[in-house]
Amino acid sequence: MKKIMIVFGTRPDAIKMIPLYLELKKYNQFDVKLCSTGQHKEMLEQVLEMFQVQVDYDLQVMQPNQTLENLTSNIIQKMRDVLQIEKSDIVLVHGDTATGFATALAAFYQKIKVGHVEAGLRSFDKYSPFPEEMNRVLISDLADYHFAPTKQNVQNLLNEGIRKENIAQTGNTVIDVIQYTVKENYQFEEEKLQQIDYENHRVILVTAHRRENIGIGLENICDALNQITQQYSDVKIVYPVHLNPKVREIVFKKLEGNSNIILVNPLGVKDLHNLVNKCYLVATDSGGIQEEAPALGKPVLVLRKETERPEAIEAGTVKLVGNETENIVKEIKLLMDNPAEYEKMAKAVNPYGDGKASHYIAEFLLKKLEIE
């Protein structure tokens, strides 16, 4: 049996790694362990609860208002202890978070192989998204095997000199998840979502949490949302607010008094996916939501200046709108007022695979871990 350690720490890592954990568990050639760094706490618990899985290790590193330096060094230290006990054959990390990067480095120090899930995404801007772009570049250097969602992600890795035989194009494991979460007659768990009259309102789902937006960018975004509700009486904006205190301070200060803006705590994954399915459009700086919403046929306005996910932009369902108030208002109005523009964007596009990404990763590992 080959010993595989799957590591995650944030909400998106968990959503995208647990399907892989469940798949690998089906193979009797693998002894699979699950480790959470605990970079997130409540937002991670929600995901674990939905999938009904328990971790083998929880490093509990989260601190309120944590700094990147503390977070990264704590994870490296604590992962070392776990890896020394487990002596895994391979450690699988995800994406671009501090958890992914610090874990890959800790595994390298123990001379343990690293597999990188969601590899090859690039914005080509060192400081945006910050620090995620550099995290994923550094993980690519540390990793032995690279699981890239799309052809373009594969090409980015090849361009950096990574050998073809160590890359697999698998699709994104998030597509494995949405096919099970979205239901036509879904009942929301969150009461505030149950109360919305979806027949007579156009719902705009907003999320914004990225470090580079915190400050003036997030204030601009909130100003734009207030302007939109002043201009359209049939609009309800739903904003599930990330638990980062820096995000909450700005968002609640700017939006709390507006009765057409529904501020909710982070939603369970099922609620979130079904809200995407029911809404009129999405405005977000999230990475994962840029993958999910196109698959559900919803226009996405990206509240950032760049994206590492150009596939849906090329397909026309995602548009970059930045974080200036005037432009955000302009782009939302275009989709509200112009049915042709809306129809152009509201088409189901899924560049992220056939929902079997976890299976392809498992098969690749089976082959690689047996021969080497």
Least spacing, CB of residue 362 vs ligand UD1, in Å: 25
CB contact burial 174-210 (16+ within 10 A = b; e otherwise):
bbbbbeebbeeebebebeebeebeeeebebbbbbbbb
Task: Spot the catalytic one: 40, 94, 242, 273.
Answer: 242
Determine the interface stretch with ligand UD1 among 42-50, 138-146, 192-200, 343-351 (rule: CB under 6 A): 42-50
Of 63, 11, 59, residue with least CA distance to 35: 59
> If binding is defined by CB under 6 A, does position 132 make contact with ligand UD1?
yes
Q: What is the 3-state secondary structure (H, E, C) of 45-71?
A: HHHHHHHCCCCCEECCCCCCCCCHHHH
In the complex, what is the shortest distance from the CB of residue 131 to ligand UD1, in angstroms, rounded to a whole number?
Answer: 5
Whether the CB-CB separation of 258 and 252 falls below 8 Å is answered with no
Task: Identify the residue among 2, 6, 8, 12 touching ligand UD1 (CB under 6 A).
Answer: 12
Bridge partners, residue 264, by sequence: 240
* 3-class secondary-structure state, position 30: strand
Nearest to 80 by CA among 63, 62, 60, 105: 105
Residues that bind ligand UDP (CB under 6 A): 11-12, 15, 174, 207, 240, 266-267, 269, 272-273, 286-289, 292
CB-CB contact of 100 with 71 (8 Å): no
Annotation marks residue 96 as catalytic: yes
In the complex with ligand UDP, the residue whose CB is nearer, 122 or 273, is 273
Minimum CB distance to ligand UD1, residue 26 (Å) = 28
Catalytic residue among 23, 118, 291, 292: 118
Is 211 annotated as catalytic? Answer: yes
Q: Which residues pair with 145 in a beta bridge?
A: 115
The whole-angstrom separation of Cα 266 and Cα 163 is 40
Rounded least distance, CB 89 to ligand UD1, Å = 26
Structure tokens at 260: 């057409």
Binding mask 65-84 for ligand UD1 (x = CB under 6 A): xx----x-------------
- For residues 318 and 212, give the distance between their C-alpha atoms in angstroms, rounded to a whole number: 20
Reference 255, options 283, 230, 291, 280; nearest CA is 230
Give the shortest CB-11-to-ligand UDP separation in angstroms.
5
| Residue pointed to by tokens 């690039």 | 122
Residues 134-153 that bind ligand UD1 (CB under 6 A): none
In the list 19, 115, 120, 131, the residue contacting ligand UD1 (rule: CB under 6 A) is 131
Taking CB under 6 A as the rule, which mask of x and - marks residues 177-216 in contact with ligand UD1? --------------------------------x-------
Q: In the numeric block, which tokens belong to residue 136?
A: 């994923």
> Choosing among ligand UD1, ligand UDP, none, which partner's interface includes residue 267 (Cβ < 5 to 8 Å by kind)?
ligand UDP
Nearest to ligand UDP of 19, 288 (CB atom): 288
Catalytic residues: 96, 118, 132, 209, 211, 242
Residues contributing to the site for ligand UD1 (CB under 6 A): 10-12, 39-44, 62-66, 71, 96-98, 131-132, 209, 243-245
